[in-house]
């Protein structure tokens, strides 16, 4: 945490910095940064993507539109 603290002080970030107390659930663990998770109805992870992506691409927007109308599985 000293490295993070030094960075925050040096850059004077006007926001709180949080450190996780424990590991995230296995579903959200990834060695890649950035990592994006798209979660559908019922909390199901529909996409786990590591690395850069064009999230404004037409095929991605179409997929997100489909997820928005997906029936919930409560």
Residue 22 or 71, more confident: 22
Q: Are 63 and 33 in contact (CB under 8 A)?
A: no
Helix (H) or strand (E) run with residue 36 in it = strand 35-39
* Residues in the chain, total: 74
For the cut 80, the answer to whether the pLDDT of residue 44 exceeds it is yes
pLDDT of residue 73: 63
- CA 20 – CA 66 distance, rounded (Å): 33
Percent of the chain past pLDDT 70, that is, above it, reads: 96
State the Cα–Cα distance between residues 66 and 73, nearest whole angstrom: 15
pLDDT digits (tens, 9 = 90+) for 5-34: 788 888 887 878 777 889 888 988 998 888
Q: What is the C-alpha to C-alpha distance for residues 47 and 38, in angstroms, rounded to an integer?
A: 5
Query: DSSP label at 23?
Result: P
């Amino acid at each position: 945490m000293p490295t993070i603290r030094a960075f925050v002080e040096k850059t004077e970030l006007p926001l709180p910095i949080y450190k996780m107390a424990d590991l995230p659930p296995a579903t959200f663990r990834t060695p890649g940064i950035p990592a994006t998770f798209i979660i559908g109805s019922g909390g199901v992870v529909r996409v786990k993507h590591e690395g850069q992506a064009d999230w404004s691409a037409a095929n991605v927007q179409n997929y997100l539109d489909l997820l928005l109308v997906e029936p919930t599985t409560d």
